[in-house]
Structure 1
Amino acid sequence: MKRLNYRVVIFIAALIFGVVFSIPSLIQSKEGKKITLGLDLQGGLHMLLGVKSDEAIKSRLKSIAGTIKYIMEDNDIVIDDLAVEGDKVTFKVLDSDDIPKAKELLKKELEGVSVLENQGTFTVTLTPKEVARTKKQAIDQAVDTIRNRLDQFGLAEPTVAKQGTDKILVEVPGIKTPADEQRIRELIARAAHLQMMAVDEDRAARVYSMSPAEAKKYGDVILPDVKNPKEKYLLKAIPILDGSMLTDAKVGFDRNNQPVINFKLNGEGAKIFGDFSGKSVGKRMAIVLDNKVYSAPVIRERIGGGSGQISGNFTIDEANDIAIALRSGALLAPVYVMEKRSVGPSMGADSIRQSMIALILGFVLVVIFMVIYYGMAGLVADIALVGNLFLILAVMALFGATLTLPGMAGIVLTVGMAVDANVIINERIRELLHEGASIPKAIEEGYANAFTAIWDANVTTLISAVVLYAYGTGPIKGFALTMSIGILASMLTAILGTHGIYQAFMDKITRDKLNFWFGIKA
């Protein structure tokens, strides 16, 4: 080899890159970036979730009621009988002179609502457009929230996608034990609805003899203690504030070295929290998570700074999971499992084994055919094919892509497609040699004549793969991804790389027999 050209240099560099970044995935080393195996290759959990979007409307109305309570108190407007009834919020302004001001405040502070007033009694309802928007937002928010929770949990490449209009597909690879599965299911389904609620001190002593219906008449709700469900609290139904004002939640430890959750509120939440605690010294305020009371301390002084603490005799794992759920946000609507199945690691191992047999068999057959039919030109194409496979693995590992069973099928298909360009090029070179062209001219013109056909075929296939990736679900995305990487890699190896090898060995090719290099007789 006398001429080391830029094409060979680029090909060698690409081959080294492919080998180096593929090794961690091939040997499954602990260090370095590796390809993540999908659910069908390593086992895991598959769930189809339903979303109770109607519950989002109730949550929205409760939030509106809390906002109304705050803005009226903040503007010294006295109201009574504030309650959420069915699909509306009702309250009464006691001073008729405050009615115009109350109307103006509601119009300014609330969006997507209709406000009716009759002799000082206000009725606030959501508009049909806001109802539809809230339901859609609940589903979209559930997808984002569940994805954030699984990401913060540290799981590798979970799939969370909207399915239809009101369902969510969740696939979590690598879940191997029933305990892991249960923990993931609880993390996904946890509403993480944080509320701070005032204890009804006037009637608190009657909580054990009071029915939920009677409590509702007073604008209260009865909730159990998280540690002891038999212990009850009578709380004002309209919360002081909720988790939508939460900005952070982290695990900490109290003076007894027990895990607790420290949380922080945004500016609005800090102001509401500070104002309420300042007016309620000597009274109790309950910290409620998912309709269970975690603590109900007596307020000793005004609490500023917008921070608080949740204690509940947690384990470290429980505290971490709750903190993750709080940080990622509360679900606007509850989710429930419609379908669940577990894919065992043995099934994944069997899929990998069969896919590898298909890949190796396809690779060996292509290599043998190319060498028999095209001679040394076939061997050059096979070298490019090896480089192509390493590049696919390296790029996927570098970006932490997930390899699924359809992705393996894409790689197997790429083996055949990767040599297609060299088949076209070799046939063009053969045609020119039969016409009497010199070997250097046949090689250069063979590449030039074949390029248009190769370019058109690869670009159209790449466009199809991009569309599949953009609009497909998990398995289809995996197939499209490996196809796309394989097409781009083959353009580099099959066109640039093999051309450079021919140029580097040009002197030897011209001296040897054409049958040896291109499978034809001179």
Structure 2
Amino acid sequence: MKTLNFRVILFIFALIFGVVFSIPSLMQSESGKKITLGLDLQGGLHMLLGIKSDVAIASRTKSIAGTVKYVFDDEEIIFDDLRMVDGDKVTFELLDSDDVTKATALLKKEIPGIVINQNGMKFTVQMTSKEMARTKQNAIKQAVDTIRNRLNEFGLAEPTVAKQGEDKILVEVPGIKTQADEQRIRELIARAAHLQLMAVDEDRAARVSTMSAAEAKSYGDVILKDVNTNEKYLLRQIPVLDGSMLTDAKVGFDKSNMPVINFSLNGQGAKIFGDFTAKAVGKRMAVVLDNKVYSAPVIRERIGGGHVQISGNFKLEEAHDIAIALRSGALLAPVFVMEKRSVGPSLGADSIKASSIALALGFILVIAFMVIYYSMAGVIANVALIGNLFLILAIMSLFGATLTLPGMAGIVLTVGMAVDANVIINERIRELLHEGKSIAKSIEDGYDNAFTAILDANVTTLIAAVVLYAYGTGAIKGFALTMSIGILASMLTAIVGTHGIYQWLLPKMRKEKLNLWFGIKTEGAK
């Protein structure tokens, strides 16, 4: 028998690799990387969310107002009575007629998609209908991305977050088994995480306890309550800056060892913050999160660097969740639960049992057919098939992939595709043996003749799988992933591995034993 060739060595290495890295998943050990089971296999939370896209219009309008203030202050344009009206308009009055042309040009340059109406020195800025529609669609897209980022940062394995229809969002979170976990996830998803730094209206703050919301609005103010004491604050409606300028948020601890949230601002935010605090020494600025005041400290001096702290008697878990929400970005519009259901672990266990039986039964029948029909050639194909399965499990384990029911269907399909390659190869070899060629020549030519057909079939299937993964969601991605890994693994095991085994065993093959080796009886083979 010849020395082991490089193809056999490569196959042995692949087999060892597959077995070693599959063990944590197969044994469900505590250590090592493992395959994560999807919602349909381990149970979890399924939600269909709606989105209040009209709120996105108001949020975008408030952002426009903030831009107007920043641009005019930066260009030293004198204005007054800047406020929001009806949730979708920004009004202000210029005090110098010489600034009209310059102000109009700046607004058109800095704020795309707006209509500017002028009545003397009073201006109204509003989004175009096209910009409003785009803002609503952006709110949905941004909500999908934000919720996905929050769940990923929370440490959940492969949550599914996808747009469904025109204005709905599908969320599936596997592994949620308790009511407490479910409630925490729902709060994390629904948290707007809208951060604003707002100036206190010091001129009227003393009257805030007797002031109505309508009166506050007439001054361009808003009344918000303290998150802990319910104390009322009268704040300027247009924020100094908001969370869109935030770059990072982390949990820290103050001098009393209580959790706080430290966040950093980008360059523009740091400049605005520094300029404002320089002009507002001795006045208060409120840190507002989701329309609740967490603190309203007095500004003692200019604060540079763009670093701000939120303190509010947080629990550590709450501070952690808020920091995740801030890092992931604010929701442009609130979401609400339209439909919710929990998939119990017992249902997932039934799915695993049923699919495992299907996989095992299909695997056994394929192995039996290959041995009966192709004899030792079938045994070699089965060895490659076992190696293929271990490789699929190992690669999925290393990447922490999620296995779903469609993913298991992909594995079953891959078993059929992998053995199909060996069927093509064995038939080519048998045809050549029938023609009277030697065993060595038949094996080499058989692989050469079969390779093109196998490669074409696998490449076209792989392209389809890649497209499914790129454009599919949830379970479709799981199916595409397992099929893609299976195709690539089968190219190694079913073609390279079996070829090497044939070359290694070739000295043992004799023409009088072709029935043993290939399941045929033929004359003329040498």
Question: 2:183 aligns to what?
Answer: 182
Q: Is the 8 A contact 1:3 1:505 kept in 2?
A: no
Q: Is the 8 A contact 2:160 2:473 kept in 1?
A: no
Distance in 1 (alpha carbons) for counterparts of 2:92 and 2:201: 19
CA displacement, residues 176-202 of structure 1 (integer Å, 9 cap, x when unaligned): 111111111111111111111122222
After TM superposition, give the deviation of residue 384 of structure 1 in Å.
0.8
Question: 2:510 aligns to what?
Answer: 510
Question: 1:46 aligns to what?
Answer: 46
Distance in 2 (alpha carbons) for counterparts of 1:335 and 1:246: 22
After TM superposition, give the deviation of residue 379 of structure 1 in Å.
0.7
Distance in 2 (alpha carbons) for counterparts of 1:489 and 1:101: 65
Choose 469-478 or 422-431, whichever is displaced more.
422-431
Q: What amino acid sits opposite 1:197 in the alignment?
A: M
Distance in 2 (alpha carbons) for counterparts of 1:479 and 1:286: 50
CA displacement, residues 195-246 of structure 1 (integer Å, 9 cap, x when unaligned): 11122222223222222112111111111111133x2222111111111111
Q: Is the 8 A contact 1:44 1:171 kept in 2?
A: yes
Distance in 2 (alpha carbons) for counterparts of 1:307 and 1:341: 41
Question: 1:228 aligns to what?
Answer: 229
Question: 1:337 aligns to what?
Answer: 337
After TM superposition, give the deviation of residue 89 of structure 1 in Å.
0.8
CA displacement, residues 64-113 of structure 1 (integer Å, 9 cap, x when unaligned): 11222233234443322211112211111123233233223323432222
Alpha carbons of 1:358 and 1:82: their partners in 2 closer, same or farther (altered >3 Å)? same
Question: 1:461 aligns to what?
Answer: 461
Equivalent pairs counted in the alignment come to: 521
After TM superposition, give the deviation of residue 511 of structure 1 in Å.
6.1
Alpha carbons of 1:452 and 1:249: their partners in 2 closer, same or farther (altered >3 Å)? closer
CA displacement, residues 41-60 of structure 1 (integer Å, 9 cap, x when unaligned): 12211222222222111111
Q: What amino acid sits opposite 1:345 in the alignment?
A: P
Question: 1:205 aligns to what?
Answer: 206
After TM superposition, give the deviation of residue 260 of structure 1 in Å.
0.9
Q: SS state of the match for residue 495, structure 1?
A: helix
Superposed, which structure 2 residues align to 1:59-458 within 5 Å? 59-86=59-86, 87-229=88-230, 231-458=231-458
Q: What amino acid sits opposite 1:186 in the alignment?
A: E
CA displacement, residues 236-276 of structure 1 (integer Å, 9 cap, x when unaligned): 11111111111221111112111111122222222222222
Distance in 2 (alpha carbons) for counterparts of 1:214 and 1:516: 96
Alpha carbons of 1:516 and 1:212: their partners in 2 closer, same or farther (altered >3 Å)? same
Q: What amino acid sits opposite 1:419 in the alignment?
A: V
Q: Is the 8 A contact 1:3 1:503 kept in 2?
A: no
Alpha carbons of 1:512 and 1:23: their partners in 2 closer, same or farther (altered >3 Å)? farther
Choose 314-323 or 213-222, whichever is displaced more.
213-222
Q: SS state of the match for residue 157, structure 2?
A: coil
Q: What amino acid sits opposite 1:49 in the alignment?
A: L
Q: SS state of the match for residue 80, structure 2?
A: strand
Distance in 2 (alpha carbons) for counterparts of 1:245 and 1:426: 64
CA displacement, residues 295-318 of structure 1 (integer Å, 9 cap, x when unaligned): 112222222222221111110000
After TM superposition, give the deviation of residue 512 of structure 1 in Å.
5.4
TM-score by length of 1: 0.95
CA displacement, residues 16-50 of structure 1 (integer Å, 9 cap, x when unaligned): 22112212221222333222221111221122222
Q: What amino acid sits opposite 1:499 in the alignment?
A: H
Q: Is the 8 A contact 2:439 2:511 kept in 1?
A: no
After TM superposition, give the deviation of residue 401 of structure 1 in Å.
1.7
After TM superposition, give the deviation of residue 388 of structure 1 in Å.
0.8
Choose 99-108 or 2-11, whichever is displaced more.
99-108
After TM superposition, give the deviation of residue 166 of structure 1 in Å.
2.3
Alpha carbons of 1:228 and 1:385: their partners in 2 closer, same or farther (altered >3 Å)? same
1:58 aligns with 2:58: yes
Distance in 1 (alpha carbons) for counterparts of 2:206 and 2:344: 53
CA-atom RMSD in angstroms: 1.8
Q: Is the 8 A contact 2:264 2:308 kept in 1?
A: yes
Distance in 2 (alpha carbons) for counterparts of 1:327 and 1:492: 43
Q: Is the 8 A contact 2:11 2:492 kept in 1?
A: yes
Q: What amino acid sits opposite 1:291 in the alignment?
A: N
Gap regions ≥5 residues in structure 1: none
Alpha carbons of 1:489 and 1:226: their partners in 2 closer, same or farther (altered >3 Å)? same
Q: What amino acid sits opposite 1:344 in the alignment?
A: G
Question: 2:32 aligns to what?
Answer: 32
Distance in 2 (alpha carbons) for counterparts of 1:471 and 1:272: 41
Q: SS state of the match for residue 420, structure 1?
A: helix
Question: 2:479 aligns to what?
Answer: 479
Distance in 1 (alpha carbons) for counterparts of 2:436 and 2:301: 100
Q: What amino acid sits opposite 2:69 in the alignment?
A: K
CA displacement, residues 361-390 of structure 1 (integer Å, 9 cap, x when unaligned): 111111112111211111111101101101
Q: Is the 8 A contact 1:259 1:314 kept in 2?
A: yes
Distance in 2 (alpha carbons) for counterparts of 1:440 and 1:71: 81
Distance in 1 (alpha carbons) for counterparts of 2:245 and 2:85: 24
Percent identity, please: 78
Distance in 2 (alpha carbons) for counterparts of 1:82 and 1:39: 50
Distance in 1 (alpha carbons) for counterparts of 2:128 and 2:39: 42
Distance in 1 (alpha carbons) for counterparts of 2:175 and 2:316: 22
Distance in 2 (alpha carbons) for counterparts of 1:485 and 1:75: 58
Choose 420-429 or 452-461, whichever is displaced more.
452-461
Choose 456-465 or 39-48, whichever is displaced more.
456-465
Alpha carbons of 1:447 and 1:303: their partners in 2 closer, same or farther (altered >3 Å)? closer
CA displacement, residues 419-447 of structure 1 (integer Å, 9 cap, x when unaligned): 11212222222233333333222222322
Choose 100-109 or 379-388, whichever is displaced more.
100-109
Q: Is the 8 A contact 1:191 1:334 kept in 2?
A: yes
Distance in 1 (alpha carbons) for counterparts of 2:17 and 2:6: 16
Distance in 2 (alpha carbons) for counterparts of 1:450 and 1:246: 58
Q: Is the 8 A contact 2:42 2:344 kept in 1?
A: yes
After TM superposition, give the deviation of residue 340 of structure 1 in Å.
1.6
Distance in 1 (alpha carbons) for counterparts of 2:390 and 2:224: 60
Q: SS state of the match for residue 143, structure 2?
A: helix
Distance in 2 (alpha carbons) for counterparts of 1:179 and 1:426: 57
Alpha carbons of 1:254 and 1:416: their partners in 2 closer, same or farther (altered >3 Å)? same
Choose 460-469 or 482-491, whichever is displaced more.
460-469
Q: What amino acid sits opposite 1:355 in the alignment?
A: S
After TM superposition, give the deviation of residue 153 of structure 1 in Å.
1.2
Choose 72-81 or 486-495, whichever is displaced more.
72-81
Q: What amino acid sits opposite 1:39 in the alignment?
A: L
